[in-house]
Amino acid sequence: MARIPRNKLAPGWYHCINRGVGRQTLFFDEDDYRWMYEKLASTASQYELELRVFCLMPNHWHIVLYCSSPLQMSAFFKKVLHEHTRRHHAKYLKIGHGPIYQGRFKSFLITSEEALNEISNYVLQNPIRAGLTKCMEEWKWIWGQWKD
């Protein structure tokens, strides 16, 4: 089945995800997490995106964002993921050794305020469900504006 071109998607809130090839680790140390955390936070406004929450996990990430133009969302992820891949290859001496991500990022339109709150809480609870921490406040690699 062919995928829908991003320029055919509606403006709105999206839950975006991606993971490492074969579920391999993307973030090995605090420096890796910090780089991506800061890159997401600093780059989103350049593409007129509003970040609501995100969570970085060892082998994947979740981001909930609002975009008025899905083409801007694509350009944002192209920039961030390309830079992350280049940085990863250079740091771990894998220059020219292919992708680190399992294909293009996935994005799912969020259709209601209730769903937006549920998905935001789901994203923030990821480290707890994975057994990486007992409470989300202890996991440094989440960021968010959410409502209960």
The answer regarding whether domain 8-144 maps to CATH 3.30.70.1290 reads: yes
- What is the reported pLDDT for 63? 98
- pLDDT at position 1 is 47
Residue 43 DSSP one-character state: H
Strand, helix or coil for residue 144: strand
Mean pLDDT by 10 residues, the chain (148 residues): 60 96 95 97 93 97 93 94 94 82 93 96 95 91 73
Strands across the sheet containing 49-56: 106-110, 12-19, 60-67, 49-56, 142-144
pLDDT at 65: 96
